Structure 1
Amino acid sequence: MKITGRYSLILVACTSLLAYSSGAMAQQSADELAKQLSNPIASLTSVPLQLNWDDNVGPAEDGTKTTLNIQPVIPVSISEDWNMISRTILPIISQNDIFPGAGSQFGLGDTTQSLFFSPKAPSASGWIWGVGPVLLIPTGTDDLLGTGKWGAGPTAVVLKQTSSGWTYGALVNQIWSFAGDDDRADVNSTYFQPFLAKGLGKGRTLSFNFESTYDWETDKATVPLNIAYSKVTRWGKQLVSLQGGVRYYVEQPQSDSQWGLRFVVTLLYPK
């Protein structure tokens, strides 16, 4: 596996910048934080730095792709009973030979911004849920890194967490393009992520999810299964979650790529 020097510098810079915290953080157990991290709409401010690597990309299986997703999660109390949770995904992409003659590209991909409005308390039966809008912002710095389109649609998440340490649920969104480069293809895509996690104690979690995307314009699906192990710990005074995992593509259009890797450093800022 080859991860470019540029990515190493970006990851170090982001970690160094975001790890600084001037206030005293409230103390929470590692298990409580791990449980909150398994909930996409928990009232926990965090900054995941998610590094994904894929090999044998493209129809000729000659391509490689490395993506660093910067994913700040910011909960905001908007009333006595409701939170608004902002989830942003800003990808930084380095790719080579994703199809014959494509060459190399490095830069920003499109940004996905989601807002979830969620009750602060679970339902009487223990379900946690949130709904809201999702926005696709054309921040791609190269035609091969972004869609060139503005898009919007609904997003929702529902989950349940048990006393035995299980978390299960699903997140979904639908995006339709409504503006942008007229010469680029329209966006009409559904994202569906069922997830399952098991807390193992001492801040450790084993998690599984499918990050399925269906492109209605091309009638093609991408279905990777991610399996990951994480642990909450400290870097000095900074609380972090460290995660490593593998990805297997159950379905991948125009490519025979089957395996990938994922590493995540999540900076935690509990109240």
Structure 2
Amino acid sequence: MLHRTIAGFLIFATMPAGLVNAQEASDLAKQLSNPVASLISVPFQYNYDEGFGPNGNGTRSTLNIQPVVPITLNDDWNLISRTILPVIDQSDVIPGSSQSGVGDVVQSFFFSPQRPTAGGLIWGAGPVFLLPTATNNLGADQFAAGVTGVALKQAGPWTYGALANHLWDVGDGSGATSINNTFLQPFLSYTTPTAWTFAVNTETTYNWDTDYASVPINLTISKLTAFGNQPVSIGGGVKYWADGPQNGPDGWAARLTVTLLFPR
């Protein structure tokens, strides 16, 4: 199954680029590496993880739907809305049972200057919210709020920087989980003139209440192409869980992404 998925990705990614020429495709691919770019995009990110539960037999498939919508506030500032809606299917995470449904939504807002600083720094900051939208006990049953920020530079084909946030729980739900979590995502990517992007990042979450860290390391490859006049980025890669909480995911995992782009 995995080799068929990889083969399909390679065939799809090397199809002709439709109405997107090479320079446009490379520029759009670089914008995708910038979390606060003035570019409407809708990523669909599929993750497959193993090793859950007390016996390590649990598996989870998560489709993250992640629309990014920039809003022009004035000549100097943008507001970037970034939403993450997880759709989850898991088995034996709780031994002998399976669950399917949606998880909690993470909603971030970044106030970001329209132009980089004199030193080339691109940045954004604002509030972040965890919305208790989960079904079938797939979330924290708790509203949380906090702050988020991102800083990066783009030099030639390279993009490097970090995104971070911290969430604190607000109020109580029935069976609510305490939330006091820091998320840190340093990232590095290289985009070729033919719109291939090679990227590495970590998506570390540290729970200050339990002193547990989740540290997945992601290596991905993506290609920007087009169907007709619709730019699309197709990508895939591997994930390795360098650290995780008790009964959490372990070992190697997989990630596939399809991102629709709507240049303004």
TM-score, length basis structure 1:
0.87
- 1:206 equivalenced with 2:202 (yes/no): no
Q: Give yes or no for contact 1:57–1:63 (8 Å, CA) kept in 2.
A: yes
Query: For the residues of structure 2 that align with 1:26 and 1:250, how far apart are their CA atoms?
Result: 38
Q: Give yes or no for contact 2:224–2:232 (8 Å, CA) kept in 1.
A: yes
Structure 1 runs of 4+ aligned residues shifted over 4 Å read: 25-28
Runs of 5+ consecutive residues of structure 2 not aligned to the other structure:
3-18
Query: For the residues of structure 2 that align with 1:58 and 1:263, how far apart are their CA atoms?
Result: 24
Query: For the residues of structure 2 that align with 1:184 and 1:134, how far apart are their CA atoms?
Result: 19
State the match for 2:6 in structure 1: none
Q: Give yes or no for contact 1:31–1:203 (8 Å, CA) kept in 2.
A: yes
State the match for 1:225 in structure 2: 217
State the match for 1:141 in structure 2: 135
Q: For 1:128, which of 117, 122, 129 is the aligned residue? A: 122
- 1:80 equivalenced with 2:75 (yes/no): yes
Task: Read off the aligned partner of 2:152 and give its amino acid letter.
Answer: L
For 1:151-194, what per-residue CA distance to the aligned partner results, in whole angstroms no more than 9, with x for missing partners? 0000000000002x110000000000102315322111010000
Query: For the residues of structure 2 that align with 1:116 and 1:26, how far apart are their CA atoms?
Result: 29
CA-based RMSD of the aligned residues comes to 1.6
- 1:35 equivalenced with 2:30 (yes/no): yes
**Paired residues for 1:71-220 under 5 Å:** 71-101=66-96, 103-143=97-137, 145-163=138-156, 165-220=157-212
Task: Read off the aligned partner of 1:31 and give its amino acid letter.
Answer: S
Query: For the residues of structure 2 that align with 1:241 and 1:224, how far apart are their CA atoms?
Result: 22
Amino-acid identity (%): 51
Query: For the residues of structure 1 that align with 2:241 and 2:150, how far apart are their CA atoms?
Result: 23
Query: For the residues of structure 2 that align with 1:260 and 1:36, how far apart are their CA atoms?
Result: 26
Query: For the residues of structure 2 that align with 1:185 and 1:40, how far apart are their CA atoms?
Result: 29
Task: Kindly indicate whether structure 1 or structure 2 has the higher relative contact order, using CA contacts under 8 Å at least 6 residues apart.
Answer: 2
Q: Give yes or no for contact 1:58–1:257 (8 Å, CA) kept in 2.
A: no
Query: For the residues of structure 2 that align with 1:29 and 1:238, how far apart are their CA atoms?
Result: 12
Count of aligned pairs: 246
1:236 shift after superposition: 2.7
State the match for 1:236 in structure 2: 228
